[in-house]
Amino acid sequence: MFAELLSGVTPTSAAILGMLVTSLVAVLSQGIARSRFPISYRVAVIGRPQAGKTTLITAMFGHMFRSKMQGFDPRGKSTIERVNGDLANLELGIAPAPTTDQERFGYRVDYRPSTNVPFRRLYSRTYKVEVGDFPGEYSSGLVEGPRDWLHNTEYFKWAVDADAFLFVVDAAQAFGLDSEEYCATIGRLVRASWQLLQEHHLEGRGNLENKRVVLAFTKCDAVHEYLAIGHPDWISHREKTLGGELPPRERVDISEVEEVERHVMHRFQEVVAFLAPRSRKLDTVCTSVVLRVGPEGPMAEYQARMGVESVLRGVLPAF
């Protein structure tokens, strides 16, 4: 039967078919060869002190482990020890300690994006991802003092060449007694950060516009409580009461999440309006490490921390 099919193929058609097969094999071979070389990928985390940067990064790793996401492998003894220690504290309701003892702590993970597209699985790339967690004082220096000193710090040299930027903002402070001043400070921080990156970016403004940017609003559980209570002094009272501990875990439904998102986005509308036309890959995400979104009852183990997966999707390549 195969011989009968070939008998109807002209020499010209056979030559064209042969060229197509040869080209396909060549493309696949090149792709497989390239996939053997991992790609370095940096995520710079920018935010003020106590904004929840380390806690959010810890929750991101926890989501990788808890949801058994494929393609993620923590790399390096320091990353594994710190993540496991911080995750243990997070489960006990203790906020991870902030990064203060050095200029940068690099969380490292090997990431291989999964795909259901035929053939692409043969040559999908491996990314050596490093999430740079800097002390918040470096970010604050962008708006609270002269910026010249930043040019010679590891913070600036590392962040300016990052592949993605994660701006972390404490949403709760926007509902406190000094909310207007706080929102104005966050606006200055984001504008100064972006303008500094734009001014000194190694590959020009156009490339910066195409990089992934996530504006993550943390501590949205406090906003959820504020909307129920309605007193501005509740935020400061809540922080003094909790100290270094996290509030109890709480389940919320989608309608409650959407209400929190509406209020947070309204408070920070000027920040979003600044970044939106300057970044083609901007995501805004409301997050909380204690608010869980998911089913009740026996399926409760599948509840996810609010917004954490969306942050991962926003900063990682080809998620």
Q: Could you read off the pLDDT tens digit of each residue along the chain, which spans 319 residues? A: 444 544 555 666 656 655 665 655 555 555 544 555 789 999 999 888 888 998 999 999 888 877 656 677 777 788 888 888 888 888 888 888 776 655 567 788 888 876 654 544 455 688 998 888 776 666 655 555 555 555 566 777 777 888 999 999 999 999 988 889 999 999 988 998 888 888 776 555 568 888 999 999 999 999 998 888 877 677 777 776 666 677 888 888 888 999 999 999 999 999 999 999 999 999 999 999 989 886 665 444 556 889 999 999 999 987 6
Check whether residue 142 and residue 186 sit in a common domain: yes
- Name the helix (H) or strand (E) containing 79: helix 77-91
Mark residue 96 as left, alpha or beta (left: phi above 0; alpha: psi -120 to 50; beta: remaining): beta
Check whether residue 51 and residue 88 sit in a common domain: yes
Check whether residue 193 and residue 310 sit in a common domain: yes
Check whether residue 150 and residue 205 sit in a common domain: yes
Q: Report the pLDDT value the prediction gives residue 63, as an integer from 0 to 100.
A: 86
Check whether residue 223 and residue 295 sit in a common domain: yes
- Strand, coil or helix: 154: helix
pTM of the predicted protein model: 0.81
Check whether residue 10 and residue 70 sit in a common domain: no
Mark residue 50 as left, alpha or beta (left: phi above 0; alpha: psi -120 to 50; beta: remaining): left
Check whether residue 121 and residue 111 sit in a common domain: yes
Check whether residue 108 and residue 215 sit in a common domain: yes
Name the token pair of 265. 């986005």
CATH of the domain at 249: 3.40.50.300
Check whether residue 30 and residue 101 sit in a common domain: no
Domain that holds residue 18: 1-37
Check whether residue 23 and residue 60 sit in a common domain: no
Check whether residue 237 and residue 257 sit in a common domain: yes
